């Protein structure tokens, strides 16, 4: 069964170069050569090189007479034989164990092969690049594969050429002119690759900007072109890295190329630790920064001043709006509660301030449409996530509309008693008499009983006083009437009520219910209670307290237990 050899499209082209290099007469020796069997058994590296040359010459002859898969198989053998040949040459150059003239001849033969390969592959890469530019988008990826393959072989040819020059230099067979020519060729190709990388980086930047503003119908085409450009840039950066390594070995300055490679790929290598590369990166970044500042700084500074001026104007307008709204809501005709007034004053100022901020942001070039759209979407999401907060908000609106209490009112709501200190749309702040601050969610207040103790301007003070059954009822009534009527804070209307209320088990209870202003409630309560005790003591009126009489009944013939010592 035959083996099906599958070679890259560029490999047969390289083998055709081997045919030109290793022609049947290329290594004709003046002295007779050993037979194949003798060479094979020899351990002399020079003999092994001669054997490989002969085998290459034979393969060249045989492959010309073959076709199809057999020809491809022989071409693959030629490729491997040449790699073995280079390995032997390199080991001999390193060990200085062979005749230098012999090695120089072998190296020059390899150099001829590399030069021919570089020339041909450069032309092929240029042709494929032109085809790539003219091809349709759906055809470009197939051409890109051939292009990438050609560039890889071209890179390997440059590596072999540099290696050949190194071998010749070690054997003192490389002239200064030839060495200078090789360095110029390496510098030229490295500069060309760096220019290609920079150009494609700019193209990608332009495409990114186009995708952001392009309609949906055109985005697919731009994205496809972007993928192709990214592929070409990856190929170029790979070749650039190869040339940077070659240039480093030849002593060529590569700091700028390493800086470009780092900026494009973001790959941190040991080369970046070099001070020259770091200085190049810093220099490039500082240059870009100064160029950007020189080009954009005046415009951005002016926009920043406009931004600040608009914010200052918006703040002044917000303050004026608060004052106008405060005067408007304080009108007696509207009859707004203090909480409602504070709500409208606060919201009016905040609304003007928010509008001012949005206008200021638009002046510095910020597109507000995505922001407002994002706020709308975020509002829906936040609405689902903060249902409890929204219920508090709704309850706060209901409290503002129906006004069950106001700032300063003493209320019992949501299980808390105290004076209303402040209210927002989500909670109410209540200050207790012992100066504690309690913040209660509005939904809890609105969903429970609300007791407003100080809502009305006039309140009735309910008090109960008990006297003994032996005291004169008429006299007690006169004393209570005198105490209440003599207090300056007790109102004459509504009329005070003093009545005998309950005949309790231990006392006769009178109710005393004077009317006072809400602010005087506790003062009147405490003053009258104190005065009642003092007047009752003065008038001889007793204030009974609960008591029980215990009666003991003794049966005849029984004595109580004795407590004496002699009992």
pLDDT at 271: 54
Q: CB-hemisphere CA count at 13 Å for 21?
A: 24
Helices (H) and strands (E) counted in the chain, each on its own, are 16, 10
**Is residue 20 over pLDDT 50?**
no
464-to-296, 346, 503 alpha-carbon distances in Å? 85, 47, 12
Of the listed ranges 74-88, 222-236, 370-384, 539-553, the one predicted with least confidence: 370-384
Tokens 């070690």 label which residue?
170
Helical H segments across 266-367, by residue range? 275-329, 338-363
Q: Which pLDDT does position 32 carry in this prediction?
A: 38
pLDDT tens for 91-118 read: 888 887 778 888 888 888 888 888 888 8
**What per-residue confidence (pLDDT) applies to 24?**
44
CATH class of the domain at 278-385? mainly alpha
CATH 2.30.30.60 placement within the chain:
405-452
pLDDT tens, 171-190? Answer: 888 888 988 988 899 999 99
Supply 8's token pair.
Answer: 């890259």
* DSSP for 524-564, written as a single string: HHHHHHHHHHHHHHHHT-------------PPTT--PPP-S
| pLDDT in the model for residue 210 | 87
Topology of domain 458-539, CATH: Alpha-Beta Plaits (3.30.70)
In the chain, residues under CATH classification 1.10.287 are: 278-385
- Tens digit of each residue's pLDDT (9 = 90 or more) over 413-470: 888 889 888 887 788 899 988 889 998 988 888 888 888 888 888 999 999 999 999 9
pLDDT band at 485 (very low <50, low <70, confident <90, very high): very high
43/150: higher pLDDT? 150
Q: CATH 3.30.70.100: which residues of the chain?
A: 458-539
Q: How confident is the model over 215-238, as a mean pLDDT? A: 86
pLDDT band at 379 (very low <50, low <70, confident <90, very high): low
410-413 and 416-423 beta bridge pairing: antiparallel
Give dist(CA 564, CA 567) in Å, integer. 5
Give the Å distances, CA to CA, from 316 to 312, 319, 508: 6, 5, 69
Per DSSP, the residues of 101-133 read HHHHHHHHHHHHHHHHHHHHHHHHHHHHHHHHH
Q: Distance of CA 392 to CAs 26, 249, 355, 375, 387, Å?
A: 97, 74, 26, 21, 9
Q: What is the DSSP string of 333-350?
A: TT---HHHHHHHHHHHHH
In this structure, how many other beta carbons lie within 10 angstroms of the beta carbon of residue 505?
Answer: 6
Asked whether the predicted pLDDT for residue 1 surpasses 50, the reply is no
Check whether 513 has a pLDDT greater than 90. Answer: yes
Per residue in 55-94, pLDDT (tens digit) is 878 877 777 777 777 777 777 777 788 888 888 888 888 8
405-452: CATH number: 2.30.30.60
The predicted pLDDT at position 344 comes to: 76
The overall average pLDDT reported for the chain is 79
- Other beta carbons within 10 Å of 177: 8
pLDDT band at 38 (very low <50, low <70, confident <90, very high): very low
């Amino acid at each position: 069964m035959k083996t099906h050899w599958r070679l890259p499209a560029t490999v047969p082209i390289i083998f055709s170069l081997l045919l030109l290099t290793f022609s049947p007469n290329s290594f004709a020796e003046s002295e007779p050569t050993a037979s194949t069997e003798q060479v094979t058994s020899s351990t002399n590296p020079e003999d092994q090189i001669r054997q490989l040359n002969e085998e290459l010459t034979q393969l060249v002859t045989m492959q010309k007479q073959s076709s199809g898969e057999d020809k491809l198989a022989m071409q693959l053998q030629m490729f491997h034989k040449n790699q073995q040949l280079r390995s032997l040459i390199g080991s001999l150059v390193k060990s200085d164990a062979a005749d230098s003239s012999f090695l120089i001849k072998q190296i020059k033969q390899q150099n001829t092969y590399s030069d021919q390969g570089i020339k041909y592959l450069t032309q092929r890469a240029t042709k494929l690049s032109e085809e790539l530019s003219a091809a349709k988008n759906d055809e470009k990826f197939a051409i890109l594969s051939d292009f990438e393959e050609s560039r890889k072989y071209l890179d390997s040819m440059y590596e072999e050429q540099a290696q050949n020059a190194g071998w010749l230099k070690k054997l003192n067979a490389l002239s200064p002119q030839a060495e200078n020519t090789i360095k110029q060729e390496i510098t030229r190709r490295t500069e060309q690759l760096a220019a290609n990388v920079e150009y494609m980086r700019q193209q990608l930047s332009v495409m990114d900007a186009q995708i952001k503003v392009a309609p949906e119908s055109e985005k697919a085409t731009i994205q496809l072109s972007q993928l192709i450009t990214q592929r070409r840039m990856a190929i170029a950066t790979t070749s650039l890295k190869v040339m940077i390594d070659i240039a480093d070995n030849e002593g060529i300055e590569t700091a700028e190329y390493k800086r470009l490679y780092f900026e494009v790929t973001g790959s941190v290598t040991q080369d970046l630790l070099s001070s020259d590369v770091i200085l190049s990166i810093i220099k490039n970044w500082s240059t870009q920064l100064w160029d950007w500042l020189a080009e954009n700084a005046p415009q951005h500074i002016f926009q920043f001043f406009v931004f600040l001026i608009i914010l200052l104007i918006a703040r002044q307008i917000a303050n004026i709006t608060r004052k106008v709204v405060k005067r408007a809501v304080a009108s007696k005709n509207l009859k707004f509660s203090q909480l409602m007034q504070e709500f409208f004053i606060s919201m009016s100022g905040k609304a003007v301030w928010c509008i001012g901020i949005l206008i200021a942001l638009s002046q510095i070039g910020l597109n507000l449409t995505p922001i407002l759209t994002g706020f709308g979407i975020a509002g829906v999401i936040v609405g689902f996530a903060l249902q409890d907060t929204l219920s508090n908000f709704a309850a706060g609106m209901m409290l503002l509309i129906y006004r069950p209490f106001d700032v300063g009112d003493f209320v019992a709501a949501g299980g808390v008693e105290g004076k209303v200190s402040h209210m927002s749309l989500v909670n109410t702040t209540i200050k207790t008499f012992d100066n504690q601050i309690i913040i209660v969610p509005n939904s809890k207040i609105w969903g429970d009983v609300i007791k407003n103790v100080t809502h009305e301007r006039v309140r009735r003070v309910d008090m109960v006083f008990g006297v003994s059954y032996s005291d004169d009822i008429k006299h007690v009534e006169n004393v209570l009437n005198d105490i209440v009527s003599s207090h300056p804070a007790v109102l004459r209307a509504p009329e005070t009520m003093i009545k005998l209320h309950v005949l309790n088990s231990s006392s006769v209870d009178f109710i005393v219910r004077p009317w006072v202003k809400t602010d005087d409630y506790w003062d009147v309560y405490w003053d009258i209670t104190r005065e009642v005790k003092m007047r009752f003591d003065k008038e001889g009126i007793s204030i009974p307290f609960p008591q029980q009489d215990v009666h003991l009944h003794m049966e005849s013939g029984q004595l109580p237990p004795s407590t004496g010592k002699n009992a």
